[in-house]
Structure 1
Amino acid sequence: MSHAVEAGSNEIIKLLISHGVDINEKNDMGFTFLHLAAGHNCKETVELLLSYGLDINKKDVNGFTPLYMATKSNYIETAEFLISHGANINEINEFGETVLQIAEKRNYSELAKLLLSHGAIYH
């Protein structure tokens, strides 16, 4: 299932889910399928997985959420989609960072503006 998620193969994902794949499964890093989809800029797959009720704010072992995964690679459309569907933009990871701090550290000015426009704050 991980490969299908990373490739954005939504029809295969639906087929696997219909055959009993556990959509709440995590890998060794604590990534859910939603983390993988966000981290591979698969916005349509993010939407599909959310329709199955996955937790949009689920953290991995480092406290990274799916929004963090989209932010670290400057995937603006995926980040905006997650925000518009309830992602917590002020969540703090295990290193004391928010997604706004990640965007600014990496010089992602457009993404930082997006986050600020949705109420991101410094902690």
Structure 2
Amino acid sequence: MYSERSYRGNSCYTAFLIACSARGSIEMMKLFIDHGIDINRPNSIGIYPLEMACKSNKLEHVRYLLENGANPNVRSQEKTPLIKACERGNMEMIKLLVEHGADVNFTANDHRSPLVV
């Protein structure tokens, strides 16, 4: 459905990923979720919406995704959402992810742990 529509000029960024990024808004995310988007589905190169929100350092986007069923224990080709939050040094986001079940021992593909970021 909407998850397959690509942002012009960059085929790996879906409209929903843009909504979850710094360019997006809660209202945009709500529209997609209300129309049945799978918030735990990665794009064609393995980026998850929750990871995008963490990478963009958007606490409210992360909160909204988690409250709507986003899995905090997903691993993209690069990292986990918790590792992204640790890299940003966003303690509120780290706490929120852990409160929603993020596993502090869940490592990235390169075996990096959020505990050593």
Q: Does 1:119 align with 2:88?
A: no
Number of aligned residue pairs: 101
Amino acid paired to 2:14: T
Q: How is 1:1-123 mapped onto 2 (pairs within 5 angstroms)?
A: 23=2, 24-27=4-7, 28-39=10-21, 40-95=23-78, 97-121=79-103, 122-123=105-106
DSSP 3-state at the match of 1:30: strand
CA 1:31–1:77 in structure 2 vs 1: closer, same or farther (change >3 Å)? same
Amino acid paired to 1:119: G
Structure with bigger helix share is 1
CA RMSD of aligned residues (A): 1.6
Runs of 4+ in 1 over 4 A off after TM superposition: none
Identical aligned residues as a percent? 33
CA 1:112–1:41 in structure 2 vs 1: closer, same or farther (change >3 Å)? farther
Gapped runs of 5+ residues in structure 1?
Answer: 1-21
Amino acid paired to 1:98: T
The TM-score, its normalising length taken from structure 2, stands at 0.77
Structure with bigger strand share is 2
Quote the offset at 1:68 in angstroms. Answer: 1.0
Quote the offset at 1:36 in angstroms. Answer: 0.6
CA distance in 2, matches of 1:66, 1:100: 13
